Chains A and B, each alone.
Chain A
């Protein structure tokens, strides 16, 4: 079975470093591992859009092929190349499947008679979604990474299946070699208003230290954060451009990781889908680090993972930081947290579930 994953952007500084871009790489690896375990031949490929044609390795050793075009603009995509790749596949997984680009790719995959799986990573919806449920017929299945993500497909007429995760629990694992730093609070993510870093700064007790690891994606928000940092009594630093290994080290060192995404940002702007899975908190938990997540989007669902606590308000966050931010987690507890993530959101359970879904479709054909 040849599975082609198509995403408008890819996980690279040349494109976008974000959860929506990292997700396909996890998915590819999870499916590949599950196929090997089950003795099923699965060939995975990742296709994205970029300025020029290219092929290179992205996170997790996954090869990404880039065809020319502007990432979110269907009119600009090299359609001949896209159709040729679709023609070689049995299954096409369309990431950001509800936006114009995603629907465009899904439509060509549907016309080519392929099994079409749609996913949403928060890339927005084309106006047809919500206006015509029929649009869902371009998908054989909509795959959601969380119960909250499944809501994205309520307005389209297509079957929806939830496969929780995945997160790379091999790479993100507790380390005996990295020492925990009591009082170190870490937040990770693109510096965007809906990620709620401002909430963490405001709620941070003065006796704790905060490191925010992320790249500035919104200059106005970046300035806003710096304003808050200047006013804060606590020690706070923003570290940009960290490679994945260093981000992981920070997660391993932290007493607690906070992910404070919000539906309503500091300016009052509403975000319908601030999180559809929550890769950062899952990666932190997988490192064995206690994690505090808001209840925005899918994050509340992570409350079932050992070591994860949820908060709704900034006051609750301040209380949680006050009670848990100062002490480092024990090695045993870290292992326990890690096992919980692996069992609920790990690559194994996700890959097996996905493989099962794909085989069901293939048999039906």
Chain B
């Protein structure tokens, strides 16, 4: 197949797991004999050919990666972007894909892109690892104006959906005000050597080692971790450390740790590449991941599990759907009490118990999150859509659909600017 991958951002620059996953899938599909072209924005610098794998075009415009948009222009870009429709049309005419595999469309004018792909009859699979409609407000005047011209916001009857979790699907369809239907679930994955024996060595001499590896930001729970560590130390608990990996608001984090006099317990360890992540995580007993409840999945939880690092994560997030509380993870309430309580339990485990819990997490991880298991599922869905598609004159249909969206965009802008 010739597959066009569409994503708002794409490595080497990245914000989180969504775009890294897009790279994994693109490379995986190439390895399975498909031709893959990536269409993304110029939000991050070009890789200048350094990135191995797919050919990447950065002709899209991404208005915002933030879930909180302020300017009218940014809000409008949540709905439509004629520039991006045009760029997509151009890519379709040049690359002539059999299918489009879409990842994060937030900030690209998600509705116009889906409406366009549907109009040109392009087999499309949308992999929802986040709510790509976030920021849309169905009660706003702008939204109503939009729907009066373009039609209701929908995922597109012909768009095949992959959901990373029930959590993300629930939130996405909540924004759309619709019930989800026909979703295939593919969780976050890990590339690992399945032939390597699943074993863990635990030594009590090092104390209990916790790890956090994500964006160093409030919504990922870094402040909750600091406060929970403070709580445990105030209780007199010792013999543990928390190492922090990742980018973000690192300065604020370190200042806070210093201010609370917790430097013997909490250390910032810098950034770790995705390739090194498994090895690094395997050195820790438990992952601390008190992330926000709307976390679509949380790749780090699957990576931790595969590495035999016992996940302590917010109950209800996407990754938690694949674990059993108390057996291969702790699902916590997202607050200091919840996290401190889970950490306390881990601190009271014997070496054997610690090893067994970590092994349980590892078994779950290896069973549930193997990339080799899930990539063929993604590939199969693309193939299925391609088989269902009717032959069409791509040149004519793309130009017709672009003209139609040009008209609707123009009418929408006139109204938004008080004309028409």
Contacts and interface: CB of A to CB of B under 8 A. Distances in A.
Given A113-B121, A128-B406, A138-B407, A75 B399 contact: no
Interface string B137-150: 00000000101110
Contact of B411 (A74, A106, A134): A74
Given A74-B411, A128-B410, A137-B399, A110 B420 contact: no
Interface string A105-116: 011101111000
Contacts of B411: 74-75, 100, 103-104
A89 to B, nearest CB: 16
Nearest to B118: A111
Contacts of A126: 407, 410
Contact of A128 (B121, B399, B401, B407): B407
A207 interface: no
Among B145, B151, B399, B404, max chain A CB count under 10 A is at B404
A138 B149 contact: no
A75 B404 contact: no
Given A113-B119, A137-B400, A75 B407 contact: no
Contacts of B403: 107, 110, 134-138
Interface of B: 115, 118-119, 121, 145, 147-149, 151-152, 397, 399-408, 410-411, 415, 420
B407 A107 contact: yes
- Which interface class (under 10, 10 to 19, 20 to 34, 35 or more) fits A? 20 to 34
B6 to A, nearest CB: 19
Given A104-B408, A107-B408, A128-B407, A137 B415 contact: no
Contacts of A83: 151
A107 B148 contact: no
A208 interface: no
A75 B406 contact: no
Among A106, A136, A137, max chain B CB count under 10 A is at A137
Nearest to A75: B148
Nearest to B150: A79
Nearest to B408: A107
A208 B197 CA distance: 111
Majority DSSP secondary structure for residues of A touching B: helix
A77 B405 CA distance: 17
B247 to A, nearest CB: 41
Given A75-B148, A104-B149, 13 more contacts: A75-B145, A79-B148, A100-B411, A104-B408, A107-B403, A108-B404, A110-B400, A110-B404, A113-B397, A128-B407, A135-B407, A137-B404, A138-B407
A146 to B, nearest CB: 25
B321 to A, nearest CB: 35
26 contacts: A74-B149, A77-B148, A79-B147, A83-B151, A100-B411, A104-B149, A104-B407, A104-B408, A106-B404, A106-B407, A107-B408, A108-B151, A108-B404, A110-B119, A110-B403, A111-B115, A113-B121, A126-B407, A126-B410, A128-B410, A136-B403, A137-B402, A137-B403, A138-B403, A138-B404, A138-B407
Contacts of B415: 75
Interface string A60-99: 0000000000000011110110010000000000000000
A217 interface: no
B401 A75 contact: no
Contacts of A107: 403-405, 407-408
Contacts of A111: 115, 118-119, 401, 404-405
A132 interface: yes
Interface in A132-164: 132, 134-138
A79 B149 contact: yes
Contacts of B402: 134, 137
A100 B405 CA distance: 13
**4 shortest A-B CB distances, which residue pairs?**
A137-B403, A107-B404, A110-B404, A111-B119
A110 B406 contact: no
A100 B404 contact: no
Contacts of A138: 400, 403-404, 407
B240 to A, nearest CB: 59
Nearest to B393: A364
A166 to B, nearest CB: 28
Contacts of A134: 399, 402-403, 406
A137 B399 CA distance: 6
A125 to B, nearest CB: 12
B229 to A, nearest CB: 55
Among B145, B152, B411, max chain A CB count under 10 A is at B411
Contacts of B397: 113
B405 to A, nearest CB: 7
Contacts of B410: 126, 128
Nearest to A77: B148
A57 to B, nearest CB: 30
A112 B402 CA distance: 13
A336 to B, nearest CB: 46
